[in-house]
Amino acid sequence: MINIISELFRNFDAGLVIFDDKFNILCVNNFIRENFSLPPGKNSLLALHDEQAREKILKMKEEATSYGQSHSYILKIFNGQHHGEIFLLGKVFLLEGDCEYKFLALLFDITFLTADKQHRILKIPVYDDETILFLEVKEIEFFKAAGNYTELFCNEKTYLCPLSLAKIEKFLDKNQFFRIHRSYIVNLAFIKRLLKEGSRYFLLLKSRQILPVSKRKSKEFLNIFGLK
């Protein structure tokens, strides 16, 4: 994990926020000062964000309290300094020793990975041993749910992404990707053949992988290709 964090620091602008158990901001680094308006007298981390971001911050603190560190989340934040939105890959750690009951939020700016006005993700962060790679979304064959993480199949290799399938789905191009099952999102460009066994449908991909199409999604999927 230390090597992965170091890799993120080398490739991205990073924000650091230390806050207490009641979400009072204790200190921030220059990246936060330069990119966010911190109103005088308002030092509550939650008060600075909208409802969606607050829910994610609450979840990260809860996970850090229970496990020492949270899962990674994508936060969409309004940038008061430049009057636009920025996307952050956030992770919260529970501090120890003299800093007991205090938390460190690491926030990596991944805005450049999103496309213009539609905010579709162009690259996905994945773990590759002790480093982080950024895969071109168009080259990913399919996504598979793995708890709060997601497995990606790309160029004959499986990678682990620190984001959940539901989070990734929100940023994908709906014309290129389709949620065929609660556990799978497929890249339509990689479908080779539609298979049917009884009333069930399956997809044969170019890599020879076979994915299930859920009954709930089958009609919508078939409609895309004018088959039903």
Residues 129-156 have a mean pLDDT of 89
Per the confidence metrics, is the pTM higher than 0.95? no
Q: Please write the tens of the pLDDT for every residue from 83-110.
A: 566 778 889 999 988 777 899 999 988 8
Domains and CATH numbers, the chain: 2-113 (3.30.450.20), 123-224 (2.40.50.1020)
pLDDT in tens, 190-226: 999 999 998 899 999 999 999 999 999 998 998 887 7
In three-state form (DSSP H/G/I as H, E/B as E, the rest C), the secondary structure along the chain is CHHHHHHHHHHCCEEEEEEECCCEEEEECHHHHHHCCCCCCCCECHHHCCHHHHHHHHHHHHHHHHHCECCCEEEEEEECCCCEEEEEEEEEEECCHHHCCEEEEEEEECHHHECCCCCCECEEEEEECCEEEEEEHHHEEEEEEECCEEEEEECCEEEEECCCHHHHHCCCCCCCEEEEECCEEEEHHHEEEEEEECCEEEEEECCCCEEEECHHHHHHHHHHCCCC
2 pLDDT above the threshold of 50: no
